Structure 1
Amino acid sequence: MSTLLLTGCSVFGDDAPLPKPTGHAAPSASATPGPVDGSGAAGDTAQPVAAPQAVPAGTVVAETDAVSKSGDTSIHVRVVANDHGTFDAQLSGYRTTQPQPMSVQFRRTAQHGDGGDSEAVATTRWGTDGQPPATVSLADGGPYPDWLHTVVLVPDQSDGDDSDRPWVHKVLAIGKLSWSIPNPDPDLNVTLGKARPGAYGYAFDADDETLRGTDGVPVSYRVNEGDDQSTIAKRFGITVDQLRWLNPTMQTRGNGWVLAGSWINLDPASR
């Protein structure tokens, strides 16, 4: 499912309830929000939103260990709110019995042995004799990066012959991220509106059945040629900011058009 990183100003208020801090750590100044273009196509844009901080700087919002199946390779990951309105991942305790070029990545989903993921965030590499950096910026994940449910270790390519390393670029270790970032809009309600110019695509329910008229609960939408994000949002009774929160990695053209044939999520639980 293609989706879009949050852009623009948040629709959500500053008085959203905050979770009880799980811990504190010194935030890094390395995380600076900036433009992101996951597709690499000219004219496509996706960048973190300039929004109020989801939690106070220094709050630990997720913590896990990414571990290989054998247990021979692992790393500890702690995600901390910084003072830029985004988050940093603090890396520690990296160990392996088979030193090799390695990278850490944050993904929506992953299984051991998975290959590349074009939506992976904060990919950071180090060499055979190196160590991971102490801090990695998650700014590309936006102010609500809790759509990133896993952190993985992936063996990287070396400068020499890798014919004896068929596992290069495949997920070696996985850690599940359980976040304590508050939902910015817990009462978000998506409704089904009629098709219209700029939102002519098909909507689907939880059983993957096509919805007609205005009956049913939409959970996904297939983008039609010429659809734009603002009209799509209006069709489903939400704002553009809410649409972008539901779809944190979707790309749009500079004029707001969404790629025809792509899928849009309308279910907060599937974010």
Structure 2
Amino acid sequence: MTTLTTTPHDLSQRARPKLSLAVALGAALVLTGCAAISVSAPEATSTTDAATDTTAQPATLAPGQVIGTGAFASADGDTTGVLTISAATGTEGFGGTEGFATDEGYFTMRLTDFTSDEPGPLTLLLGPPSVTADTECFDSGRRFSAGEVSTEPTQDFVLGDETGDPSHFGNAVLTRPNVPGDTECLASVAAVAPLVWTLPDLRSGLDPTDAGSRTHAAGTVALTDGVPTSYGVAPDDALEVIAERFGVTVDDIFYLNPGRSPNPRDPVVYAGETLNLDRARR
């Protein structure tokens, strides 16, 4: 068993023109003070010790299907616009390249009826529900940056989410760059659009059940009405065995935890890390 010490990363992610569909674009939270655990392949667990397999095949979205909307409004009313998020059609051709495939976690965002009296360029980001119109600064934490907004009334952006389900973002945010030396905040909030998601439950059958502690999955489980809702990673745990304990796949764990660090699909688990097991809380 080898224990590695990691340095926390700045996990803000900025959208790029589609240079490669292999580029990971998911946003993630910063974890601090954790030790990465690398383990050798564990022995197979007998079927009698495994949880009931609750893995569901992910649902698919129709190309161009609208999955979310939001309306921007600044406190002074000077910045407005409507954001529509849709499943990619595979024919958009952003950045002068071929279009995005709907099964690779790519979505389109169209900003319409945009107006703003802000003197400088704004940046479009998606963030958690905690970022509201009362938030003064949004320059850290889990977020996805789609890039700068122009002055055009209609504009298109690309959203990449490795889990294939971006509904864990609660708000779209327009931020302004601050004048150097004017404030310690690097990106102040200009306007917020609460997002209303209309996409279907993509993994309706994903209901983890706990088959009990075992080697490489000996952490603690939080329960709500007897149902496991989160798992506390113990030293020497391995993600594959944790998934086996709860009758799900590693990909299901990634889906349930879009804010993992250093990226949502990090195969390494961290002692002290909490893994969400509840679809409603992702």
Aligned with 1:185: secondary structure?
A: coil
**Aligned residues of 1:68 and 1:74 also touching (Cα < 8 A):** yes
Aligned residues: 222
2:194 is the counterpart of 1:176: yes
Aligned with 2:255: secondary structure?
A: helix
Alignment of 1:89-238 (within 5 A): 89-109=109-129, 110-111=131-132, 112-126=135-149, 134-157=155-178, 161-164=179-182, 168-206=186-224, 216-238=226-248
State the alpha-carbon separation in 1 of the partners of residues 210 and 193 from structure 2. Answer: 37
2:23 is the counterpart of 1:35: yes
Aligned with 2:189: secondary structure?
A: coil
TM-score of the superposed pair, with normalisation by structure 2: 0.67
Closer, same or farther: CA 186–52 of 1 in aligned 2, 3 Å:
closer
Alignment of 1:14-93 (within 5 A): 33-36=21-24, 54-82=60-88, 83=90, 84-85=101-102, 86-93=106-113
Identity of aligned residues (%): 25
| Alignment gaps of 5+ in structure 2 | 1-16, 37-56, 91-100
Per the TM alignment, residue 54 of structure 1 is displaced from its structure 2 partner at its CA by 2.6
**Aligned residues of 1:122 and 1:136 also touching (Cα < 8 A):** no
Closer, same or farther: CA 217–31 of 1 in aligned 2, 3 Å:
farther
**Aligned residues of 1:89 and 1:138 also touching (Cα < 8 A):** yes
Per the TM alignment, residue 187 of structure 1 is displaced from its structure 2 partner at its CA by 2.7
CA RMSD in angstroms, aligned pairs only: 3.4
Instruction: Decide which structure has greater strand share.
Output: 2
Per the TM alignment, residue 223 of structure 1 is displaced from its structure 2 partner at its CA by 1.6
Closer, same or farther: CA 96–105 of 1 in aligned 2, 3 Å:
same
**Aligned residues of 1:252 and 1:258 also touching (Cα < 8 A):** no
Name the counterpart of 2:10. none
Closer, same or farther: CA 242–132 of 1 in aligned 2, 3 Å:
farther
Closer, same or farther: CA 34–120 of 1 in aligned 2, 3 Å:
farther
Name the counterpart of 1:19. none
TM-score of the superposed pair, with normalisation by structure 1: 0.69
**Aligned residues of 2:107 and 2:160 also touching (Cα < 8 A):** yes
Per the TM alignment, residue 70 of structure 1 is displaced from its structure 2 partner at its CA by 2.5
**Aligned residues of 1:205 and 1:218 also touching (Cα < 8 A):** yes
